[in-house]
Amino acid sequence: MAFVPTLGELERAVMETLWSASAPVTARDVQDALAGRDLATTTVLTVLGRLERKGLVTRERAGRAHRYRAVASREDHVAELMRDALDAAPDRGAALARFLGSIPEDERAALRDLLD
């Protein structure tokens, strides 16, 4: 069983920026994307480093800077979180039933279509 690291609020915001980017981005790009938060470049670099240690981000040298990208897609990450949650449940069937009971009918229909 692979464990998916939990993310803090700022880590989630940085990951959202990486997931939304069409190509690897610099720390400055991330800082600009999160301009409303008034973050220092060192703060962004610290968060990117933590995400890299958690295995969620890779970096590559681009001149004097590094470019960062998410290791997996947002959808892959969410699927892993869901799998972790199910693995933690002593009764997977009951957990799935509760989950299905908590989502709108159109999403249940989409799940039925995917299963068929």
Q: What is the CATH number of the domain that holds 59?
A: 1.10.10.10
Q: What confidence score (pLDDT) does residue 53 get?
A: 95
Q: Assess if residue 2 is contained within a domain.
A: no
Residue 3 falls inside a structural domain: no
When the pLDDT of each residue in the chain is averaged and rounded to a whole number, the result is 93
The H helix count followed by the E strand count for the chain is: 6, 2
Measure the CA–CA gap between 80 and 7, rounded to whole angstroms. 13
- 8 A C-beta contact, residue 86 and residue 92: yes
Q: Are residues 78 and 35 in the same domain?
A: no
Which of the four pLDDT bands, split at 50, 70 and 90, describes residue 4? low
**Residues 66-115: pLDDT tens digits?**
999 999 999 999 999 899 989 999 999 999 999 999 999 999 999 999 99
d(CA 80, CA 3) in angstroms, rounded, equals 8
Q: What is the mean pLDDT of residues 25-47?
A: 95
Q: Which amino acid is at 64?
A: R
Residue 94 forms part of a structural domain? yes
Is 41 part of a structural domain of the chain? yes
pLDDT at 35: 92
Q: How many domains, in total, are found in the chain?
A: 2
- Three-state DSSP at 62 gives strand
Model pTM score: 0.82
pLDDT reported for residue 5 = 72
Domain span at 79: 74-115
| Within a domain: 91 | yes
- Tokens describing residue 75: 């959808």
